[in-house]
Structures are given as structure tokens and as C-alpha cells.
Structure 1
Amino acid sequence: MRWLDHREPVPGPLRGAIIALGNFDGFHRGHQQVAGEAIEWARAEGRPAIVATFDPHPVRFFKPDTPPFRLTTLEQRQELYIAAGASAMLVFHFDAELSGTSAEDFIAEILVERLGAHGVVTGEDFTFGKGAAGNVDLLAAHPALASRTVAPVEQGEAPVSSSRIREALRQGDCETATDLLTRPFAIRGIVQHGDKRGREIGYPTANLDIESYLRPRYGIYAVTGRILATGELLKGAANIGVRPQFEPPKELLEPHFFDFSGDLYGQEIEVAFHHFLRGEAKFDSLDDLIAQMDEDCRRARALLSQGDGGA
């Protein structure tokens, strides 16, 4: 089993695991260090390694009106955790019951009894339990649970954090986000039928809802795409935003893939953001828009040919 629910007992073969505890939404360099410590510890002792996450994010539970900020879906996280070497992903379903659980009960009743954890690995600033009263010292003091902590990972002059990544994306700084994540930020979704405007002007697009993902800076990007069913990789240029040229405004991610003529409707694809090209704009005519799109695609092709065009 690869997807575990904290509300259910862990299956026998996965009991006695080392669990990497945290939210690990972006699974950036810092998260990878915590998970890597847990996986190495588990391998050294012949134990399963489990990487945890919370859904919904605690911020979303306590402040439901907060604008979308997720960097990954649960499905993307699961793939990242398994690729890192974890035996399974554990989802803590963050609800009123979990938020009201004391730190002591979180350790004794959930981690030790229900999940059967042998040990946990966290970042140094990890907190848990009602009112965030639990910390790494409380974990270390528990007699039935081994624990380790991992220091923040420094990149540049500051620690790697999801907040830094989100801010970079809001500024259109794909390169910094990619460096901190160790991969491009990517939005996954099912291709839907649109109004066919792109097809009418010679630039057919694969339209995706942005859903609960963080909104990067609106504008045009050099992107790559991956068709999940086949693994086929594509290169293209994409608009993310509200399409000011057309009425009514509708927030979409609209990648146009170069040299591709297949049917993507109903298929799940993942679009990775490599370079920001320009902000959204409204043009005086469709001819002006098409001329700019020609230039956008030329620039995107050039940038994606420089060796970083893998999805």
C-alpha cells in the first residue's frame, strides 16, 4: 500500500516505520533533506520509510478564505515521495478532530499506537498538536518513540522554504523556484474543451483549470508538458491568467504545444513552468496579438532548446 490514512491503523508490513513528519507540500530541498534522513535511517535498520503530509493544509482549515497557495496536489506529492525512496505516503486529514488533539495524544495515540511508528524525523521548527503546543523536544522526550531533527537547508543567503518559492513564482521568477524545488513548478489537470479561440488564430491550446494551485504571476511562459497516460514530453508556450483579449474573463492555464497535432481532450497532463516571458496584455487587434504570439513562441523555443526543457 502506498497511500495511508492517519485515521486508520497502518497495515502490518508498514508498522515499525520511520516517518518523516511535516507538510512537505512543495517537497523542496529542505523537505528532501528531512525525507532523506528518514529513508536512510529506515534502510539502515531494515524498516519501512513513510513520508507524511497534511490535507487540507492547516492554514486552509483555520483560514478557509486564504487565496490558493498549494505547490503540489496529493497525487504529485505521492509520486515525489515514492521517487525519493519512501515506502508509502501518509496523509493526515486535518479536521476539527485532529486540530483539537493534544500534542501528547498525537504522539501516544496516533504516532505510536495507531501508526506503529518506531521513529520520526522532522525539521527543527516542527510543531504539532492543539495550539501547536508540541515541538521536537516533546518528541525527543517520549520513551516509546525515537526521533531525529534536520536543520534548515540554506540556499543563497536564506533558508529554503515554501514561502520563498511562492514569492518567486508570484514574481514570475521561475529560475529561483526551480532551484529551490530542484524541479520546475508544475500544474496538473484534465484538458477541457474551451471556446476554440486559440485554434481559430492558429494557436490551439490545451485548457486547464488552475484549481487549488498557487497562482504564479499572470502572463506568458516557456513550458514543457507531459501526457501522464503515455509519458510523452512536449514543449510549448502557455498563458496563465484571465485572457484580457477575450470576453468574458476566465482564469485558465492555456499551453500551446509546438509541433503537436494530437487530441488531448479529457487527458491528464502536467505543465511545467521554465521561464517567464511577459505579462498578460490586451492588444489593439488580433493581428497584433498573433504577431506577439509568434514572438513568444520563438523565444520559448530558443529558451527550451538550451538544455533545461525536460518536464
Structure 2
Amino acid sequence: MSLPTSVKLVEVGARDGLQNEAQPVSNTDKIRLIDDLSNAGVGYIEVGSFVSPTWVPQMAGSRDVFAGIQRRAGTTYAALTPNLKGFELALHAGADEVAVFAAASEGFSQRNINCSISESIKRFEPVMSAAAEAGLRVRGYVSCVLGCPYDGEIPASQVATVARELHAMGCYEISLGDTIGTGTPGATRNLFETVAQHIPRNQLAGHFHDTYGQALANIYAGLLEGIQAFDSSVAGLGGCPYAKGATGNVATEDVLYMLNGLGIHTGIDLDALIQAGNRISTLLNRPSGSRVANARSNQLDQ
């Protein structure tokens, strides 16, 4: 299969990234980050999530962040909404799209959201109904698709079952997440081949963590399978909660550099993206998690 000519990058740094950062970030700084990403040409940005601040304190100000950003025409500003209350808050905040999440692992589902996979999916039914009534599209996430910290290796057929249920409920795109970053390119290709027997490839996305240094290789494997949407996080925001000191989300700058080298169009300005990542990294008082950004900085310093 030939490589796609264009790819959608779903920027998750402001949500999935910052919610896993230990240092609190003000709403003003979140707004600046999102505006920087918009100005760099990022076409899809997860702005925040509407979950209980008790569980995810970093996302407590998502409504104010939505109110403060400068929206760029052509960019989708999305929110994570695990239940109907969250959806209603996201709708009132002006989210363009919402997302729901399930796990491919029973162990992870029980420990992460205190219910079974089937129970978690059933909770989404009122969200899907309300979204359809409001005319908002819903994106689905499936976590632990290539391994689980509790259940170990996850069969691709098990992932396909969960993804198929979300797709049948009305999710227009299903993002398959290697939450602990243990996946390898061969397993990634097998995963997409298996799930694509039930869901069209143009409705699948990849979400790869770089804990074991395999994220870019896995994204390339996804490209070879005809996948045209991938999640990433500017500056590699968001540590991995399962491997101390390890990286979590793959850096958007690194993914973009690879895609540029392959001649794949995204519409994103790499230099502007690096500046956005460096700005938020400075705010967090640490170097960027992007190898490309650090390499560029080292070249400028010489």
C-alpha cells in the first residue's frame, strides 16, 4: 500500500499532555499555547476535557480556556467528555467536536474508571444521542491497544471488538492508543489490519506513546497500512505514568519532521510549532521533549 499524500495530526498537548504534567498551568498560559498551535497551522486541537476536577485538576478551567482562545477558521477545537454532564458543559463552552474513551483491557478499565469495558461503553449512549441532536461529531479513543500494565499483551481481536462497538454507536473516527508505549511496528500493522476488517481505514487513527522509543516507527507502520490520522503532543507534553522518567506522548514536532521528509502534507509550519513547544517547555521549566526542537536549538547555539 502506498503512503498517503496528506495526514491529519490531532494535537493533544493542551489536554492529554498538560493533564499529566505535575506543575499547574494557568488558563492564560493554556490559551497562549492553543493560540500558538492555531497560528502554526494545526488543524485539530484538543482544548481540554470536562471531567471532575477532583480526578483531573489540570482541566478544571476548560470552559474559560474555550472562552479565551482565538479561533482560526479551518481548525477544529475539541473536548474530551466522558459523560452526559461533561458533554453538556462542552457544548455550552463551544466545542466543535467531543471525544469519548474506552479501554481494550478489562484490567485498565476497572482501575482507570472503575467499571467494565461494556459498562463504560453503555455510559456513552446518552452522550452519543445528545451529540447527534446537537449536530456534533464524536471521536472515540481506545486505550491499551498494544499492551496493558495489568493484563499484559492485548489480542488485536479484543481491540477490534471495542472499536467496532464505538463505531457502531456513531463515533466517526476511532483512535487506537498504545498507552504504555510497548508496541512495535509489526504488532502495529497487525493491529490495523485486524481492526480494518471491521472499520474503514479512513476512520481509524493512531495514538502512540514513545516510552520504548517506538512511536515514530509505529506511526510509519500505520502509514503503510493506509492510516491518515495520528495523535501527538507538542514538545512531548505529558509524562508516562507507568514508567518513571520515560516519555509519554510522541512529540508533534518529531512526527511533523518525519512526515515532511516523506512528502506528506499537514498544513503545519514546523518552525512555528517548535516555537510553541519551546515556549510551553520554558514555562514548565524543562527542556522540550521533542528531539527535533532540541536539535534545532543546538544548531542555533553552535
Fold shared, TM-score > 0.5 on shorter chain: no
Query: In proportion to residue count, which structure has more strand?
Result: 1
Q: TM-score range by the shorter chain?
A: under 0.3
Bigger CA radius of gyration:
1
Q: Calculate the TM-score normalised by the size of structure 2.
A: 0.27
Q: Calculate the TM-score normalised by the size of structure 1.
A: 0.27
Higher RCO, Cα 8 Å, sep 6+: 2
Query: In proportion to residue count, which structure has more helix?
Result: 2
